[in-house]
Amino acid sequence: MDSVNKTNYIRLLFILFCGLYLSNPLLIQAQELNRELPADTVLVSTDEVTIKGENIPYQVMTGTQPVYGEDGEPDAALYFTYYERTDVDDKANRPIFISFNGGPGAGSLWMHLGYTSPKRLKISDEGYPVQPYGIEDNPHSILDVADIVYVNPVNTGFSRILNDGEGEQFFGVNEDLTYLADWIDNFISRRGRWESPKYLIGESYGTPRVSGLSGMLQSRHWMFLNGVILVSPTGLGLEPAGPAPRSSVLKLPYYTAAAWYHNQLPSELQSRDLTDLLPEVEDFTIDEYLPAVSRGGFIDDAKKQEITGKVAQYAGLSEEFVSNYNNVVPESAFWKELLRDEGFTIGRLDSRYKGIDKAAGGDRYDYPAEYSSWKHSFTPAINHYLRDVLGFETDLQYYVSGPVRPWNRDGNETGEMLRQAMAENPNLKVMVQSGYYDGATDYFSAKYVMWNLDPSGKMKDRFRFEGYRSGHMMYLRTEDLESSNEHIREFIMDSLPEEGAPAQY
């Protein structure tokens, strides 16, 4: 072999090796495992932000805190970012919020750079990606009234399993609650915040997480809370006497909202304001629609046709389409059908977003338009902020959505845990925040869950519901970002008892 051919042969072998290496998931996983995360480290910096015309100086701490195993050694490290206002000396009266996202498997970036922190990603006023990517001050942050820590559970963000830790210790409803409650106990102790009013806020799967944590912190760690905020809640493991939360029947008010947004309702309904129309649809759903479909195939033909007509009107669909599904249209079919004639699908988590499928036929979209849009804007923003601004240096990938499967869903009693915590703690209040255009954890199912958390009705004055003209992450729309943060401020003030007032019935 001459020298030229030998050189080309070596180059070919190198190219083939690189191709095999990059395409082999086992090799990539091995490379990932060699990237080490320190179990216990913190970086500290300072900044300031203007909120409601007031200059707020603050300290931001970002880093890791261990999850300890039974042998006292770290089995995992949770990555967190903590904001603390620095011109307040009285921590005993200073509220602290512990913030979780959901998934399970979602990093804390969504509410961190979208909602309550002093920084937010650059995004359009309606919540669409803009370039250049980056972050900016959030003038609506709640940092003026509360300190906030954003927690990434195991295998989300930069959080990872360490040493002898095993996935089954962490990946499940109750496994998640057990180690996170212990981690929170340690965090509060390290930061000297046992005297402070404490709040949990969770979004999506983060809502069963914080609901269960309210009970576990109270029963096992003797930590009593002032408030829990459920953002776009799931069913919380509830089994009420009526339909299961998030059933296709309960989706009808959401269908109305999405159809109204896209101008698909009959003119007499379309001309009304959304918040004027929705209560009518809610009443129809509970008082007429549910009883009718409960009769199944034995419903009177005339009554069935009447229900078909009303559902079609309220959902912006044809009577034939509704009838073909026996009056109960699955949400996946709705997302595909509503704008089919215009060549678009609509988003699952936020139905304001439109997508394009390969084919107009079928009853499912090709991809979730809203989630693709959100990853487009949030992923570069969180990586830039944590690495370049806060200076956390690591070769680890930031898991926007991390590997946490299989997830053990057995024994989900998180709603009951929240109810029990409220019953035992007269100071504990709950606020639910939902977007009208959220088709996954829809707003009416959120109301339904709230109604059924306390079937006795004895604690209903301690619940609050707020709806927004947005989707799952209602804070992405600038108008709703302002109002939803203001609602949190009001909730804090309402949940702080007067000085010296005893917690008793």
pLDDT tens, 391-421? Answer: 999 999 999 999 999 999 999 999 999 999 9
272-289 pLDDT, tens digit each: 999 999 999 999 999 999
Mapped onto helix, strand or coil, the DSSP state of residue 143 is helix
Q: What is the pLDDT of the chain when averaged over all its residues?
A: 93
Residues 6+ apart with CB under 8 A from 320: none
Asked if the model's pLDDT at residue 25 lies above 50, the reply is: no
Characterize the bridge pairing of strands 147-152 and 135-137.
unpaired
Residue 2's pLDDT band, with cuts at 50, 70 and 90, is low
pLDDT at site 28: 36
Q: C-alpha distances in angstroms, 80 versus 1, 91, 431?
A: 58, 20, 24
Characterize the bridge pairing of strands 74-85 and 147-152.
antiparallel
Helix H or strand E segment including 5: helix 3-23
Burial of 223 (0-12, 13-18, 19+ CB in 10 A): middle
User: 490-495, long-range: CB within 8 Å, 24+ apart, which pairs?
Assistant: 491/227, 491/229, 491/429, 491/431, 491/464, 492/95, 492/142, 492/145, 492/146, 492/197, 492/199, 492/226, 492/227, 494/429, 494/464, 495/197, 495/199, 495/226, 495/227, 495/427, 495/428, 495/429
Mapped onto helix, strand or coil, the DSSP state of residue 98 is strand
User: 457-460, long-range: CB within 8 Å, 24+ apart, which pairs?
Assistant: 459/419, 459/422, 459/423
Q: What is the mean pLDDT of residues 481-505?
A: 96
Q: State percent of the chain over pLDDT 90.
A: 90
pLDDT at site 14: 41
∠ CA 261-262-263, rounded to 5° = 95
Are the C-beta atoms of residues 200 and 229 closer than 8 Å to each other?
Answer: yes
Q: What is the mean pLDDT of residues 468-477?
A: 97
Asked if the model's pLDDT at residue 21 lies above 60, the reply is: no
Rounded Cα gap, residues 62 and 188, in angstroms: 15
Residue 245's pLDDT band, with cuts at 50, 70 and 90, is confident
Residue 22's pLDDT band, with cuts at 50, 70 and 90, is very low
Q: What is the mean pLDDT of residues 40-56?
A: 97
Tokens standing for residue 331? 């949400």
196-212 pLDDT, tens digit each: 999 999 999 999 999 99
* Phi and psi based region of residue 191 (left: phi greater than 0; alpha: psi -120 to 50; beta: remaining): alpha
Residue 186's pLDDT band, with cuts at 50, 70 and 90, is very high
pLDDT at site 73: 96
pLDDT at site 242: 87
**From the centroid of its chain, how far is CA 314?**
28
Q: What is the mean pLDDT of residues 108-132?
A: 95
pLDDT at site 437: 98
Q: Which residue has the tokens 């504990």?
A: 428
Mapped onto helix, strand or coil, the DSSP state of residue 85 is strand
Q: What is the DSSP letter of 244?
A: P
Burial of 208 (0-12, 13-18, 19+ CB in 10 A): buried
pLDDT at site 346: 97
Residues 6+ apart with CB under 8 A from 143: 49, 51, 56, 58, 83, 85, 116, 117, 118
Residue 13's pLDDT band, with cuts at 50, 70 and 90, is very low
Q: What is the mean pLDDT of residues 382-386?
A: 97
**From the centroid of its chain, how far is CA 237?**
16
Mapped onto helix, strand or coil, the DSSP state of residue 391 is coil
Q: State percent of the chain over pLDDT 70.
A: 93
Rounded Cα gap, residues 341 and 93, in angstroms: 57
320-355 pLDDT, tens digit each: 999 999 999 999 999 999 999 999 999 999 999 999
pLDDT at site 24: 46
Residue 36's pLDDT band, with cuts at 50, 70 and 90, is confident
Mapped onto helix, strand or coil, the DSSP state of residue 24 is coil
135-173 pLDDT, tens digit each: 999 999 999 999 999 999 999 999 999 999 999 999 999
- HSE value, Cβ hemisphere, 13 Å, CA-based, for 375: 12
Rounded Cα gap, residues 476 and 87, in angstroms: 29
pLDDT at site 59: 98
Q: C-alpha distances in angstroms, 331 versus 55, 255, 288, 399, 459?
A: 46, 8, 20, 28, 32
Rounded Cα gap, residues 434 and 447, in angstroms: 9
pLDDT at site 33: 43
* Nearest Cα to Cα of residue 139 among 378, 477, 481, 441: 481
Mapped onto helix, strand or coil, the DSSP state of residue 288 is helix
